[in-house]
Chains A and B, each alone.
Chain A
């Protein structure tokens, strides 16, 4: 029988993969994609706890997470496009204009 821990371990694996992606990728678009993976891992554990505890609050919170992820992606991609148009780079390591 599938228990709560199965879902939580899946969510933990996904979150760790997302963290690894954020740390290793050198393209700002791929970093945003990895952040999406992390947000979805959090969503999965919210919904799993909601189903295990019989409380709808977790599912409602996961809807809020989806809405916030949408606005985050829109603004992040707009910033990425502006930086690429102005300076022609996508590597966050080279975005060092504010570093004295």
Chain B
């Protein structure tokens, strides 16, 4: 297992980064959602390498199984043509230099944030992972959830309940006249 860790880490990390770049760059929303599914699955592979087995399974179940399906439902509901970005063509007719400058500023902002994060990370003391019998199994996570983290757990259920109220309230709104 130990000698497989290095290639597996690089495979999963590169897959996650490449597919998230596809999410950000591809103009078709359906492809973006499918690429995000690849990101989630590779991230859950990284979680398995980190011995967080329960979190890895939950990642696949909730993200790939529930959240991304919700995204796909909404894209289908709005119509794929409606969800696609049609502004690009009309924008090309306008002055593109300002748009290009804005884009460069955004790239610069992202790179600044990234370099800042990297500086902070390398200021940390690098540590090897302990080779003990520590693992995030269902039993260990369940024990932690229902002893030390009982109050936050209940609060999260409250947040989910409020979310359900909000969504049902929004879904029952009468359609206004188009403005």
Q: Mark A28-54, 1 if CB is under 8 A from B, else 0.
A: 011011101100100110011011101
Q: Chain A residues with Cβ under 8 A from B130's Cβ?
A: 52, 54
Q: Mark B89-128, 1 if CB is under 8 A from A, else 0.
A: 0000000000000010011011101100110011010111
Report B161 CB to chain A, min CB distance, Å: 9
Size of the B side of the interface (Cβ < 8 Å), in residues, is: 85
Q: How far does the alpha carbon of A44 sit from the alpha carbon of B77 in the complex, in Å?
A: 32
* Known contacts A33-B23, A34-B24; is-contact A51 B114 (Cβ 8 Å): no
Checking B40, B52, B70, B148 against A51 with a beta-carbon cut-off of 8 angstroms, the contacting residue is B52
* Known contacts A25-B24, A88-B178; is-contact A75 B110 (Cβ 8 Å): no
* Known contacts A37-B20, A54-B134; is-contact A23 B156 (Cβ 8 Å): no
Q: How far does the alpha carbon of A43 sit from the alpha carbon of B163 in the complex, in Å?
A: 21
Question: Size band of the A side of the interface?
Answer: 35 or more
Checking A1, A14, A85 against B17 with a beta-carbon cut-off of 8 angstroms, the contacting residue is A14
Checking B39, B84, B117 against A37 with a beta-carbon cut-off of 8 angstroms, the contacting residue is B39
Residue in chain A with minimal CB distance to B152 = A64
Interface centre among B6, B17, B43 (most CB of A within 10 A): B43
Residue pair B23, A43 in contact (C-beta under 8 Å): no
Residue pair A6, B9 in contact (C-beta under 8 Å): yes
CB-contacts of A55-76 with B (<8 A):
56-57, 59-60, 62-64, 66-75
Residue pair A16, B17 in contact (C-beta under 8 Å): no
Q: Chain A residues with Cβ under 8 A from B149's Cβ?
A: 57, 60
Report B98 CB to chain A, min CB distance, Å: 13
Report A82 CB to chain B, min CB distance, Å: 6
Q: Mark A71-92, 1 if CB is under 8 A from B, else 0.
A: 1111101111110111110110
Q: How far does the alpha carbon of A74 sit from the alpha carbon of B161 in the complex, in Å?
A: 12
Checking B63, B82, B153 against A90 with a beta-carbon cut-off of 8 angstroms, the contacting residue is B82
Q: Chain B residues with Cβ under 8 A from A52's Cβ?
A: 127, 129-130
Residue pair B36, A5 in contact (C-beta under 8 Å): no
The 7 closest A-B pairs by CB, nearest first: A71-B163, A16-B114, A12-B117, A21-B24, A20-B110, A23-B106, A51-B50
Pairs across A and B, CB under 8 Å, 16 listed: A13-B17, A24-B106, A30-B29, A33-B36, A44-B43, A50-B52, A51-B51, A54-B134, A59-B54, A60-B141, A62-B52, A66-B59, A68-B156, A72-B163, A75-B167, A86-B175
